[in-house]
Amino acid sequence: MKIAVIGTGYVGLVSGACFAAWGHEVVCVDKNAQKIDGLAHGVVPIYEPGLDELVERHSAAGRLRFTCNLAEALNEASVVFIAVGTPPRAGHGDADLSFVYMAARELAPLIDDDTVVVVKSTVPVGTGDIVQKIIGSVRKTGTFSVASNPEFLREGVAIRDFLEPDRVVIGVEDERAREILMKLYGTSLDAHKTPIVMTQRRTSELIKYAANAFLATKITFINELADLCEQVGSNVSDLALGMGLDKRIGTSFLNAGPGYGGSCFPKDTMALLRTAQDHGVAVRIVEETVTANEARKRRMALKVMDALESDVEGRTIAILGLTFKPDTDDMRDAPSVPLIETLQRFGATIRAHDPVGMENAGRILSDVEFFEDPYECAHNADAVVVITEWDSIRKLDLARLKKSMRQALLIDLRNAFEQGAAEEIGFRVSAIGRPTTARYEVTNSAALPGSKQVRGRRNAEDASFEMAGDSNDNL
């Protein structure tokens, strides 16, 4: 089957490469000539594990092509996916659909009869109806179909999510679209016995927003319980395990942290709120989730300051991990940004390390010194703050890290390290949802004018379980 994908951003590029991996002929089209030229030469503009290899392999096999010529891409295509960006409108919160509508207007006179146009971008309820009207103003009713097929790709594992999904959601209003999309997905996913939810177009559009809002709420819930754990002397990891083993709840998205971020949760919760408001419906749980999450990101800076006894002016703080989650270079709504900016306003000097996100972070943050080496980043630091639980950060040699620091203070906002491991070598640890059990040690008191040297080990026995579970894989 020949497929055209309009848009070579995250969703469009991953989808196009994966459709090609299923053996389809795919043409990805974009107006950005520089991006298209790079893709034609194997330069993938985003970081996603395995994507560069997938693009290279299927481009070489002739199944995946890139062009700026829309007519060329649409020629003889049975299915056309609209996968353009729908960013939040400044000051409004709802999705900016201008790129979706522009794509619909431009493709309308170019598609063949019986083409199925599929909106894969995340869009509010009713967007497919407007796309139908736009194309219908140029073509006769019944000569084309408009469908909804939302994506559920998690950054960092997007290829696996596409090729082996939990489910596929398809919203259609006519039999032809149903048959074509069942043929496209059903043949490739039969071996995995993947459920395909075939529903109305408007329901399909709403499913994406509802799923993301629910997951965002789940994260916010466990984050608030983590605060309670800290106050009453409980362990949030054990709490989450005890909850998550209930099959009605599940362990996913129950890892406490500094708040959700990324390209989907913040945008989609706000868009769902706006849709509800437009229809006079109150979704108060989602409203509270959005409010609580924004407050939490800033509260994390207060947690860092509390660990430093409210004295951060002139202190050097090393930040390990900048992106909103591991295995991506995405800095959109990353919790690291408000945390760093707040600490800077109180006079802290910030040094930072991230395996792949520093280039993007440098476009957002100012007066931050970036380091490729995490140990160099922590040199003479008064505290190390873990914000993103990259595997390379989890595997750091804590003894070596401590040796390079001015003070042995670790603020673990992801509970990335095994409980007790840092305390055993002399760190004072401030984690999420766990009581602090040790005083910190000044390892280089000469570098800290006016400071008192304090040495100590754990002053309380630590009895806890370790929960093996997924991190919060924000979409």
How far apart CA 54 and CA 345 sit, in angstroms, is 44
Q: Specify whether the CB–CB gap between 410 and 429 falls below 8 A.
A: yes
Whether residue 264 lies in the annotated active site: yes
How far apart CA 358 and CA 374 sit, in angstroms, is 12
- Average pLDDT, integer, range 397-425: 95
What the block records as the tokens of 392 is: 């390379």
Q: Confidence class of residue 419 from pLDDT cuts 50, 70 and 90?
A: confident
Q: Is the pLDDT of residue 15 over 90?
A: yes
Q: Confidence class of residue 445 from pLDDT cuts 50, 70 and 90?
A: very low
Q: Specify whether the CB–CB gap between 118 and 181 falls below 8 A.
A: yes
Name residues whose C-beta falls within 8 Å of residue 150's C-beta, 6 or more positions apart in sequence: 120, 122, 169, 204, 205, 207, 208
Q: Is the pLDDT of residue 448 over 80?
A: no
CATH of 200-475, picked from 3.40.50.720, 3.30.70.20, 3.40.1190.20, 1.10.101.10, is: 3.40.50.720
Reported as a single tens digit per residue, the pLDDT across 303-344 is 999 999 988 999 999 999 999 999 999 999 999 999 999 999
Per-chain mean pLDDT for the chain: 91
Q: How many CB atoms are closer than 10 A to CB 57? A: 14
Q: Specify whether the CB–CB gap between 322 and 393 falls below 8 A.
A: no
pLDDT at 119: 98
The CA-to-CA distance between both ends of the chain, in Å, stands at 29
pLDDT at 64: 97
pLDDT at 111: 96
Which of these ranges, 118-132, 167-181, 223-237, 440-454, has the smallest mean pLDDT? 440-454
Q: Is the pLDDT of residue 275 over 70?
A: yes
Does the pTM of the predicted model rise above 0.85?
yes
pLDDT above 70 coverage of the chain, percent:
91
Reported as a single tens digit per residue, the pLDDT across 84-131 is 999 988 766 788 999 999 999 999 999 999 999 999 999 999 999 999
Q: Is the pLDDT of residue 449 over 50?
A: no
Taking only Cα atoms into account, the Rg of the chain, rounded to an integer number of angstroms, comes to 25
Kindly give the interhelix angle for 265-278 and 201-232, rounded to the nearest 10 degrees. Answer: 120
Strands (E), 290-422: 316-320, 349-353, 368-370, 383-386, 409-412
pLDDT at 298: 87
Buried b (16+ CB within 10 A) or exposed e, 122-156: bbbbebbebbbebbeeeeeeeebbbbbbbbbbbbb
Reported as a single tens digit per residue, the pLDDT across 457-469 is 333 333 333 333 4
CA 367 to mean position of chain CA atoms? 25
CATH topology of domain 2-199: Rossmann fold (3.40.50)
- Sign, Cα dihedral of 199, 220, 316, 460: negative
Closest CA to 29 of 78, 54, 66, 59: 66
Closest CA to 475 of 184, 261, 205, 181: 261
How far apart CA 259 and CA 267 sit, in angstroms, is 14
Q: Which residues pair with 171 in a beta bridge?
A: 148, 199
Q: What is the amino acid identity at position 192?
A: H
pLDDT at 475: 58
The C-alpha torsion from 87 through 263 and 366 to 370, rounded to 10°, is -150
Distances (CA, A) of 326 to 143, 156, 355, 372: 45, 7, 9, 16
Is 200-475 in the same CATH topology as 2-199?
A: yes
Q: Specify whether the CB–CB gap between 22 and 130 falls below 8 A.
A: no
Instruction: Give the H/E segment covering residue 177.
Output: helix 175-189
Q: Confidence class of residue 436 from pLDDT cuts 50, 70 and 90?
A: low
Q: How many CB atoms are closer than 10 A to CB 224? A: 15
Closest CA to 350 of 324, 401, 312: 312
Q: Specify whether the CB–CB gap between 115 and 146 falls below 8 A.
A: no
- Average pLDDT, integer, range 231-250: 95
Q: Is the pLDDT of residue 435 over 90?
A: no
Reported as a single tens digit per residue, the pLDDT across 153-211 is 999 999 999 999 999 999 999 999 999 999 999 888 887 789 999 999 999 999 999 99
Q: Is the pLDDT of residue 441 over 50?
A: no
Reported as a single tens digit per residue, the pLDDT across 146-157 is 999 999 999 999
Count of H-run helices and E-run strands, the chain: 18, 14
How far apart CA 25 and CA 143 sit, in angstroms, is 23
How far apart CA 44 and CA 56 sit, in angstroms, is 9
Marked catalytic residue, from 18, 229, 264, 377: 264
Per-domain residue ranges for the chain? Answer: 2-199, 200-475
